[in-house]
């Protein structure tokens, strides 16, 4: 009886795990070809340019910073006058309790709705046994819009991730074998916190660790909970790799939900964003497609 109960628990766990587990997807591609996006070369995986992605993320992050102006004093003092003017107006000195010039303080989700025109949130998935999913709860997502980000620790192909990967449904593999551990629990959580705390430049945080909590500063950082599409649920978003450019504003890096495992990594910080394949309406759950390179 105990063995039967244990087996049932394992089967239920696996049904949830398999929707994000890379080997399971690979072995089942023939059964589920609608969830596969074929890519002939790595360069052709980018359906939106890095410049477009930056043009989407930077204004949103600036809105988040403006809305958190009361907690940004140390950062603002070290910015140039021109840069500081992006976030502060003369009225703010008279009304320090107002996060956004001329407007009331907003929570991150409200800032997201006000800036991007939509909100996404985690809720129980509509897919049986898939656990948590991500839904558009308010507003409208136009095609080619950045909908979410995949948070986590970045591991280069040669770096160790064995223990972190055990029973971990949130390890994402990029085309070039870079791995992103998006697990917000256990050893993965501890490693991310440690690396995030390590990488600072004076008062400037270079990554966001609040996605590990219930009070995230960047509401885009829920991409690890987006389930893969099935034959019944077609994909409405796709993964795209994004290497953060050197000129990305220093004061906005505090909202990037990724950090390198090694502090001396020479490559640009790797992020993965999820971009809308079509217009997405309120109430819809996000479903992603996985990809392979076809020679």
What per-residue confidence (pLDDT) applies to 159?
Answer: 82
Q: Which domains does the chain have, with CATH numbers?
A: 18-29+36-43+117-294 (2.170.270.10)
Residues 234-283 have pLDDT tens digits of: 999 999 999 999 999 999 999 999 999 988 888 899 999 999 999 999 99
Please check the confidence at residue 212 and state whether its pLDDT lies above 60. yes
- In the predicted structure, residue 223 carries a pLDDT above the cut 70: yes
More confident residue, 49 or 11: 49
Question: Global pTM?
Answer: 0.80
Residue that the structure tokens 């009886």 belong to: 1
For residue 147, the model assigns a pLDDT of 97
How far is 145 from 282, CA to CA, in rounded Å?
15
* Residue range 170-190, pLDDT digits in tens: 888 888 889 899 999 998 999
Question: What's the Cα-to-Cα distance from 130 to each of 77, 108, 149, 253, rounded to whole Å?
Answer: 46, 27, 19, 32
157 compared with 193, residue with greater pLDDT: 193
Q: Are 169 and 275 in contact (CB under 8 A)?
A: no
- At 292 the pLDDT is 45
- Residue 232 — very low, low, confident or very high, per pLDDT cuts 50/70/90? confident
Q: What is the Cα–Cα distance from 112 to 29, expressed in whole angstroms? A: 35
Q: Which two tokens stand for residue 205?
A: 């945080």
167: left (phi over 0), alpha (psi -120 to 50) or beta: left
Higher pLDDT, 126 or 90: 126
pLDDT for the residue numbered 289 = 78
* Mean pLDDT, range 218-239, rounded to an integer: 92
């Amino acid at each position: 009886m105990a063995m039967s109960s244990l087996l049932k628990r394992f089967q239920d766990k696996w049904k949830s795990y398999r929707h994000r587990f890379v080997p399971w997807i690979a072995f089942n591609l023939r059964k589920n070809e609608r969830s596969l996006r074929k890519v002939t070369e790595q360069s052709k995986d980018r359906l939106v340019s890095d410049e477009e992605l930056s043009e989407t993320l930077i204004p949103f992050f600036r809105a988040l910073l403006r809305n958190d102006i009361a907690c940004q004093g140390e950062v603002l003092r070290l910015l140039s006058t021109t840069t500081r003017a992006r976030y502060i107006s003369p009225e703010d000195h008279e009304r320090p309790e107002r996060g956004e010039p001329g407007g009331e303080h907003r929570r991150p989700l409200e800032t997201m709705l006000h800036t991007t025109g939509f909100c996404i949130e985690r809720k129980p998935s509509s897919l049986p046994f898939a656990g948590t999913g991500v839904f558009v709860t308010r507003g409208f997502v136009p095609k080619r819009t950045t909908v979410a980000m995949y948070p986590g620790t970045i591991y280069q192909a040669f770096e160790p991730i064995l223990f972190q990967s055990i029973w971990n449904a949130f390890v994402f593999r990029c085309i070039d074998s870079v791995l992103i551990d998006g697990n917000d629990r256990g050893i993965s959580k501890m490693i991310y916190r440690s690396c995030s705390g390590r990488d600072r430049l004076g008062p400037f945080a270079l990554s966001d660790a609040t996605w590990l909590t219930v009070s995230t500063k960047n509401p885009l950082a829920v991409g690890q909970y987006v389930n893969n599409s099935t034959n019944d649920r077609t994909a409405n978003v796709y993964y795209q790799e994004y290497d953060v450019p050197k000129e990305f504003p220093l004061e906005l890096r505090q909202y990037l939900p990724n950090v390198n495992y090694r502090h001396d990594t020479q490559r640009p910080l790797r992020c993965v964003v999820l971009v809308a394949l079509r217009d997405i309406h309120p109430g819809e759950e996000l479903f992603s497609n996985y990809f392979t390179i076809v020679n």
